[in-house]
Amino acid sequence: MAETSDVGYFIMLFMAITLEALRTYSNSKDSNRDNHVTTSPYLSPLFTSAADLQLRFLCPSDIDQVKDLCKEWFPIQYPEAWYKDITSDPRFYSLAAVYQSKLVGLLIAEVKQSDAINKEDKGILDGRMYSNCTVGYILSLGVCSRFRRQGVASLLLDSFLNHVTQSENQTCKAIYLHVLTMNSAAIRFYEKHYFRLHSFLPYYYSVDGKCKDGFTYVLYINGGHPPWGLLYPFLEKVLKYRFIH
Ligand SMILES: CC(C)(COP(=O)(O)OP(=O)(O)OC[C@H]1O[C@@H](n2cnc3c(N)ncnc32)[C@H](O)[C@@H]1OP(=O)(O)O)[C@@H](O)C(=O)NCCC(=O)NCCS
Domain 31-243: give its CATH superfamily.
Gcn5-related N-acetyltransferase (GNAT) (3.40.630.30)
With vertex at residue 161, the alpha carbon angle to CA 27 and CA 141, rounded to the nearest 5 degrees, is 105
Question: Could you report the per-residue pLDDT of 25-56, keeping only the tens digit for each?
Answer: 444 443 455 543 334 455 666 676 667 899 99
* pLDDT, average across residues 89-106: 97
Q: Is 137 a catalytic residue?
A: yes
For ligand 1, atom 32, which residue shows the shortest CA distance?
Answer: 149
Integer Cα distance of 178 and 52 in angstroms: 31
Mutate-to-test residue for ligand 1 from 95, 148, 182, highest number of ligand atoms within 8 A of CB: 148
State the pLDDT at residue 234: 66
Q: Is 36 a catalytic residue?
A: no
Residue with more model confidence, 94 or 17: 94
- Ligand 1 within 6 A of CB of 186: yes
State the pLDDT at residue 130: 62
CA 148 / ligand 1 centre spacing (Å) = 6
Catalytic pick among 83, 93, 178, 194: 178
- Is 78 within 8 Å of 94 (Cβ atoms)? no
